[in-house]
């Protein structure tokens, strides 16, 4: 965990509660946790690049990634493992430099490429068994923030980054 330089995030069930909300006109909405956003701000301040990697395409996801100034937002990706393997090779990321947070079966193959794996409390059982860290929070309720805090505490940088980003001492 000391060398994490890239955090890869699933969306539905990880950054959100996994629900698909459609209004009467067919527009999709999603609920994101502000807590996850605060944690991702710390990750970025720590020099960790952040990628959304999701199998669906959604305007709310694009907008949230833009609001959080995430480095990459890859949507409609049907083979996450193949995409991530090619990305890691092209960008020069080694396994131990990559963290992955996901919640469902379609994340398992990509998780095998990461040196550190996290998931929400309500992730599928196979994912929880594979994870190095299982947040006590459900998807969309701060589980990603918990994973970021876990990584930064392990690296001994959490308190300094909270002070740097938020001007508060822990």
Feature table: binding site for substrate: 12
Residue 8: how many other CB atoms lie within 10 Å: 28
The annotation places the binding site at 10, 12, 103
Count of residues for the chain?
170
Query: Of 168, 170, 164, 167, which Cα lies nearest the Cα of 46?
Result: 164
The annotation places the binding site for Mg(2+) at 10, 103
Residue with tokens 């193959």: 109
User: Which is it for the CA torsion 91, 94, 100, 106, positive or negative?
Assistant: positive
Give kind and range of the element (H or E) at residue 9. Answer: strand 6-9
């Amino acid at each position: 965990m000391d060398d994490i330089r890239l955090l890869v995030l699933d969306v539905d069930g990880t950054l959100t509660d996994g629900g698909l909300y459609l209004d009467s006109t067919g527009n999709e909405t999603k609920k994101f946790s502000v807590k996850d956003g605060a944690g991702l701000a710390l990750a970025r301040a720590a020099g960790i690049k952040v990628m959304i990697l999701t199998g669906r395409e959604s305007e709310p996801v694009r907008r949230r990634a833009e609001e959080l100034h995430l480095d990459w937002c890859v949507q409609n990706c049907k083979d996450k493992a193949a995409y991530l393997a090619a990305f890691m090779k092209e960008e020069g990321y080694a396994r131990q430099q990559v963290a992955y947070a996901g919640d469902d079966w379609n994340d398992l193959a990509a998780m095998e490429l990461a040196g550190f794996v996290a998931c929400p409390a309500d992730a599928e059982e196979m994912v929880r068994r594979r994870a190095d860290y299982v947040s006590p929070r459900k998807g969309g309720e701060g589980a990603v923030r918990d994973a970021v805090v876990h990584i930064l505490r392990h690296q001994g940088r959490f308190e300094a980054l909270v002070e740097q980003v938020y001007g508060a001492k822990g």
